[in-house]
Amino acid sequence: MKLPIVAHIQQRPTLFKSLLVVLILLLALSVRLWKVEYVPNATDGDELAYIFAGQTLIEYGVPISWSSHEQYEYDWVNLSMHSEVVNEEMSFGFIRPWLDHSFLLPVLIGGWSELGGYEFGTIPPALWYRLPMVFFSIVTLSLAFLIAREVFGFWPAVGTLTLLSFSPSFIIIQRMVVSENMIIMFSLLAIYFYLKKQSLTLVILASVLACLIKPTGLAVLLLIGLDMVFTKQWKTLMIYLVVSVATFASIFALYVWSINPTDTVSALLSQSQRLIGWSNPTFLFSHPGFQNRLMLDFSYYLILLAGVFILGRQTRKHERLIALGTLIMLVTVWATSAEQDMLGWYKIPLFTFLGISAAKVMKDKNYVLLIVLLLITLVANLGLVRYPTHPLPESIILRSTVGILVLFMAWLIYNAQAKRIALTTLAICFIAYALQSFYISHYYFSATCRDRICPTPSVTSVQAAKELVSKQFIHSFQK
Amino acid sequence: MNALKIVTYASFALCIGALLYILFFSQSAQLNNRNARRARDLELFAAQIEETFHANGRVLPVSIAVLPRQLGTAADNCQLVTKHCEVTVAACISPEQIAATPSGFLSADIVSGTQERTHYSVQALSPTVIKLTACSDEIENEISITKDLITP
């Protein structure tokens, strides 16, 4: 006998599928908003660099911010900032003009700060300035889902969406104001238009936006361009590359010309002198997490291992495009980041592609691989919220858990043909993975900051909600 | 799909519009903001000099004299001729010379450059009165403050 809800679902599969995707996206939004102001550390310097540049570009007509590159000739002033939004005094040595990055993200995030009333000299609360990034993260996740659905089908795409939506390190990094979060959003947009054979103008516009965020966005031109080469679309290739590069170069040149062309060339040369090295991939993959410190999150390896699976076998043209994209994003991060410099967010585009590629595992019905990786993630990630003061797990508990896990995995391997069991286990694992991400989001800050002083926000979502409720209450009382 | 198309066109239009607005259509407001910042900088410099003056037993730092001098960290080439300033002394006055407790605050640009760059000059009108001026070719109406360090 079927449950009424099952009958309902079978009658309206499209509606059910849409509701499922909306539910996952809403959960993804919730987990990103939960304690958004705490992790990554409130008022992270790398985020503030964009905010200051945007505020000053809007207010003074010239970008001023701090830089990790030594550019003494552009020293401007060492300023103490109004940093009441965090439990520490903050001052920065500024350079003027600041040309470490393009204008688009600074204008966007600086404009958002100004909109909230935070002018240059005042640091906006993380709760405020991270809101646009959370919104963009949902757009990115939606595009990753749409591309995966187009290439691999609906259910594998749901797998991609779940993997990316509830990976703790992905949740944290997608809150952060860094260029790569925007580059990947516009890159996926361009790729989706390309896959759906939409007008070339749309592909070009989305590609140019990705490039305008940061020149590493040019990777999307390489990806789509190479696909056009391999599929022998010579005329389209020429138009796409020439128009995209010319549009990007013209807009960037306009900005540079109005600020200072000589200074820009000098800053770009300085930026290009990063300590790149042969061993970058080894370094990058040996350092899980997307911030500038380690985060021992196994979902990082879950996405990596499930994602590289696509390189082994592609059966359709579009699958080859996703495999190519994964390689190009790897090459981009290999060629632009440093062997010993942990700027983890450089890996965001690569891991987003790996997440999309992971749908191939589901499409090829390699459920056991996913289940094994998910189970390891579920157990290993308990360590993410283990307080330094917590005792280590007793050996009998740890070894019993691991032993049972191994036995279960072994049973699955020998019973992989039991598709129903495998699918049910996979669904349960995905649900547990999603729920665990909320648990981790809630406790991660207190767990990591128990034995050290972390930047702690003084403007919090709970406090903002309380103020809103009390204002509403007073308002209704006055009425 | 239509929503995505609209968002793409709108994002691109917004990007270009914002850039053009910031670069070309809000110059007057930006100039006012820069001038307001210059005025604030002068107040800060004056406060630092006042603090040093009192810490030295009501004596001005020796580097502040009748002839205007530029505030800056450069050792020479500090001569300056703008609409409202004429500095003939080659050496700058460094922040250490005017601050009793070095705060690291120095808003003067240390390289010559584009028109809107600001330099600041200071001169002693009397042993207890100083005049600070913001120097930049883009400043139309003089931005300066005269401060009596004894009488508020």
Span B35-71, pLDDT tens digits: 888 888 888 888 888 888 888 888 888 888 899 988 8
- Calculate what percentage of chain A has a pLDDT beyond 70: 94
Q: Which residues of B touch A66 (CB under 8 A)?
A: none
The count of other CB atoms within 10 Å of the CB of residue A459 is 17
- Is A57 an interface residue toward B (CB < 8 Å)? yes
Smallest CA–CA distance, residue A207 to chain B, in Å, is 10
Confidence of residue A422 (pLDDT cuts 50, 70, 90): confident
Yes or no, beta carbons of B4 and A192 under 8 Å apart: yes
Tell me: pLDDT of A20 over 70: yes
Q: Are residues A372 and A409 in contact, defined by beta-carbon separation less than 8 angstroms?
A: yes
Yes or no, beta carbons of A196 and B1 under 8 Å apart: yes
Q: Are residues B42 and B143 in contact, defined by beta-carbon separation less than 8 angstroms?
A: yes
Q: Which residues of A touch B27 (CB under 8 A)?
A: 61
Q: For residue A82, what are the β-bridge partners?
A: A122
Query: Stretch A440-466: mean pLDDT, rounded?
Result: 85
As a whole number of Å, the CA-based R_g of chain B is 20
Span A148-179, pLDDT tens digits: 999 999 999 999 999 999 999 999 999 999 99
Q: Which of A240, A205, A201 is nearest to A223 (CA)?
A: A240
Distance CA A143, CA B116 (A): 44
Q: Which of A75-84, A406-415, A455-464, B128-137 has the lowest mean pLDDT?
A: A75-84
pLDDT of residue B112: 40
- 3-state class (DSSP) for residue A384: helix
Single-letter code of the amino acid located at A355: G
pLDDT of residue A129: 94
**Minimum-distance CB partner of A77 among B12, B33, B105:** B105
By C-alpha distance, the chain A residue nearest B30 is A60
Tell me: pLDDT of A271 over 80: no
- Is B32 an interface residue toward A (CB < 8 Å)? no
**A410: Cβ–Cβ under 8 A, 6 or more apart, which residues?**
none
Yes or no, beta carbons of B114 and A260 under 8 Å apart: yes
Looking at beta carbons, which pairs linking A415-423 to residues 24 or more positions away fall under 8 Å?
A416/A367, A416/A368, A419/A365, A419/A367, A422/A367, A422/A368, A422/A371, A423/A367
pLDDT of residue A115: 94
Confidence of residue A97 (pLDDT cuts 50, 70, 90): confident
Q: Are residues A361 and A369 in contact, defined by beta-carbon separation less than 8 angstroms?
A: yes
Q: For residue B119, what are its two tokens?
A: 């330099």
Q: Which residues of A touch B11 (CB under 8 A)?
A: 186, 205, 209
By C-alpha distance, the chain A residue nearest B1 is A193
Yes or no, beta carbons of B111 and A196 under 8 Å apart: no
pLDDT of residue A464: 81
pLDDT of residue B114: 44
Distance CA A320, CA A439 (A): 37
Confidence of residue A49 (pLDDT cuts 50, 70, 90): very high
**Contact pairs from chain A to chain B, CB under 8 Å:** 74
Buried (b) or exposed (e) across A283-311, using 16+ Cβ within 10 A? bbeebbbbbeeebebbbbebbbbbbbbbe
Smallest CA–CA distance, residue B93 to chain A, in Å, is 16
By C-alpha distance, the chain B residue nearest A253 is B19
Query: Largest alpha-carbon pair distance within chain A?
Result: 78
Best B1, B9, B14, B15 residue to mutate vs chain A (most A CBs within 10 Å): B15
pLDDT of residue A189: 96
Span A299-327, pLDDT tens digits: 999 999 999 989 887 677 789 999 999 99
Q: Which of A171, A210, A169 is nearest to A188 (CA)?
A: A210
pLDDT of residue A274: 66
Yes or no, beta carbons of B22 and A57 under 8 Å apart: yes
Q: Which residues of B touch A74 (CB under 8 A)?
A: 111
- Is B34 an interface residue toward A (CB < 8 Å)? yes
Q: How far is CA A342 from CA A130, A187, A337, A354, in A?
A: 22, 23, 8, 20
Yes or no, beta carbons of A209 and B15 under 8 Å apart: yes
Q: Which residues of B touch A57 (CB under 8 A)?
A: 22
pLDDT of residue A199: 92
Yes or no, beta carbons of B4 and A189 under 8 Å apart: yes
Phi, psi (rounded to 5 degrees) for B24? -120, -25
Query: Stretch A64-71: mean pLDDT, rounded?
Result: 78
pTM of the predicted model, to two decimals? 0.89
| Average pLDDT of chain A, as a whole number | 88
Residues 94-153, chain A: which have Cβ within 8 Å of B? 96, 103-104, 107-108, 111
Confidence of residue B111 (pLDDT cuts 50, 70, 90): very low
Q: For residue A193, what are its two tokens?
A: 């238009």
Q: How far is CA A171 from CA A67, A133, A333, A382, B85, in A?
A: 26, 11, 20, 16, 55
Q: Are residues A380 and A169 in contact, defined by beta-carbon separation less than 8 angstroms?
A: no
